[in-house]
Amino acid sequence: PTHDQVLNFGAGPAKIPIEVLQTAQSELLNYDNTGMSVMELSHRGKTFGKILADAKQNLTKLLNIPDNYEILFMQGGGTTQFSAIVYNLLAAKGKPDAPVDYCVSGSWSQKASEEAKRLGANVNIVFNTKKSTGAYTSVPPQSEWKLSGSDAAYVYYCDNETVHGVEFNSIPDVDSSVPLVADMSSNILSRPFDVSKFGVIYAGAQKNIGPSGVTIVIIRKDLLTPLKSAAEIPASGLVTPQLLDFKTLADNDSLYNTPPTFAIYMSGLVFKHMLEKGGVEAYTEANDRKARKVYQVIDNSKIYKAPVATEARSRMNIPFRIYPETLEAEFLKGAEARNMVQLKGHRSVGGIRASIYNAMGEDGVDALVAYMKEFEGQHQA
Ligand code: PLP
């Protein structure tokens, strides 16, 4: 099958707009008359410098990023940020034993909280829905949260849990002196939001942006803290490794060492493409409609079931089960036969998961919905 025939519902690496891939293809052997591929350009040269500057400028436009924020392009994926956040924000707080608050609403925020613990931070669990309700299928009302207040070095949450399909429907309201940190790996650029409410936002590119290999970090400049030596910090385990240090990256415009140049270039193409399509506002309407269509089929069905509480349902990743569960393998097989791929749920939860990021068109969702209805018609109890 060709790229436009396959409907890729993968959670990440995920679908990239065909127009972007075609641009990359047309430029692959000769970028901007250099006679070189982007992959072959020096990261310190003028041509790549413009790619980097344009990517930053276009992301700034898309998210309306205020002047007092810095955009960093880092490596190591979302997982590296689990560690980087701990080091950088404890350094910014200047108190290695300050509490760090973690909202645990799914496996990614769980992993982030475990890493903070492993690094020796004083972790306070604000809530953990698996512990309190038995499953990651909701976000509790803020009245039930156990925040540390102004003592905290930061409050951490994952805006969209990719595996469990749990998404926050509003920005947490935390003490204004405490930086709010959000993992937006799987829903950045899916809806507009107020960047100024955050200390740090980060997102691996491989879901709603482009290829894997680059992580976007948006950080408020006053949180950039000079790197310290072990001698200056009693808990020397919290001395920030050089390449995880946000200030080192910021001071060097993400060019302290060789950055993932091709992934930055591809992300930049996606930013440009999104602006041409009307920016984040245009996508958010389509995303709401797309998700509504899928949940509607599930909610009107006797065989499909979405486990997540209505108000916490993700617009990006829609996990569901089919009953009896023996039908799930057959559903996936039928989907493959229709060129609908990567619909299998995460190995930790099973079932089905339809990831419908920005790059998944409404026609793709319509095709999925039609197949779901057809499948139910054939298997009604
Ligand atoms: N955070 C979220 C919300 C994710 O979905 C993922 C990966 O799927 C990660 C973090 C980890 O990202 P990476 O695989 O880039 O380390």
78 Cβ closer than 6 Å to some ligand 1 atom: yes
Tokens 């070095």, located at residue: 153
pLDDT (tens digit per residue) in 272-315? 999 999 999 999 999 999 999 999 999 999 999 999 999 999 99
Separation between Cα atoms, residue 99 and residue 52, nearest integer Å: 36
In the chain, which segments carry CATH 3.90.1150.10? 279-379
Separation between Cα atoms, residue 259 and residue 301, nearest integer Å: 48
Separation between Cα atoms, residue 164 and residue 111, nearest integer Å: 13
Q: Which atom of ligand 1 is nearest to the CA of 206?
A: 15
- Mean pLDDT of the region 155-180: 98
- The amino acid sitting at 238 is L
Residues 182, 186, 191: CA angle, nearest 5 degrees:
80
The CATH number of 279-379, from 3.10.310.30, 3.90.1150.10, 3.20.20.120, 3.30.420.10, is: 3.90.1150.10
With CA atoms as reference, report the closest residue to 172 among 202, 145, 204, 151.
145
Say what the pTM is: 0.98
Per-residue pLDDT at 235 exceeds 70: no
Residue 228 annotated in active site: no
183 Cβ closer than 6 Å to some ligand 1 atom: yes
The alpha carbon of 79 and the centre of ligand 1 are apart by a number of angstroms equal to 6
Which of 186, 317, 349, 357 maximizes ligand 1 atoms within 8 Å of its Cβ, making it the mutation to test the pocket?
186
The structure tokens listed for 52 are 């980097």
Residue 108 annotated in active site: yes
pLDDT (tens digit per residue) in 57-103? 999 999 999 999 999 999 999 999 999 999 999 999 999 899 999 99
Q: What ipTM was reported for this prediction?
A: 0.99
The alpha carbon of 204 and the centre of ligand 1 are apart by a number of angstroms equal to 7
Euclidean distance between the first and final Cα of the chain, in Å? 34
* Beta-carbon contacts of residue 101 (< 8 Å; ≥ 6 apart): 124, 126, 147, 148, 152, 154, 155, 156, 178
In the chain, which segments carry CATH 3.40.640.10? 31-275
The CATH number of 31-275, from 2.40.50.100, 3.40.640.10, 3.30.2320.80, 1.10.443.10, is: 3.40.640.10
DSSP-assigned states of every residue in 284-306: HHHHHHHHHHHHHHHHT-SSEE-
Residue 145 annotated in active site: no
